[in-house]
Every structure is written in structure tokens, then in C-alpha cells.
Amino acid sequence: MKEMTKMQSLIKEINKLDINDLEVILKEVFRRVDRKRHIEKALDNLIGIGQGVWDLDAQAIIQELREDDR
């Protein structure tokens, strides 16, 4: 017999819940989806922000900073 996937098992358990419990779960799922979308959007906004900075030689910058400290 084929083993149930995690998703199938969750759906089976959800089908046993009453309407109040379903509402609680639905709100939590929506909250998590909204939060993940917000995080992904924030990360998308950061893409490319360091462009140009990384073209510099990091070792040369460190050496220059060390010389300035002397």
C-alpha cells in the first residue's frame, strides 16, 4: 500500500475539524502566506543594491584600510 504524503495526512486531519477550528487554521495560513510574500518582496527590492561595490578588490580595500590605521 502507498504511504500517505505529509500533505495528504494534513488534509485528512483537516477534514475532521469543525468550522471554528477551520477558521483558526485558515487565518494562520493566510497570515503566514502574507508574511512570506512580504519577506520575498523585501528581498527582491534588495537585489542589485550592491552592484558596483563588489567589482572592487576586497583585499586591496583591506590593505588600504590597514595602511590608513598606521
More reliable by pLDDT, 3 or 19: 19
Residue pLDDT, tens place only, 13-62 = 999 999 999 999 999 999 999 999 999 999 988 887 777 766 677 788 88
Q: What is the DSSP string of 9-64?
A: HHHHHHTTS-HHHHHHHHHHHHHHHHHHHHHHHHHHHHTTTTTTTTTS-HHHHHHH
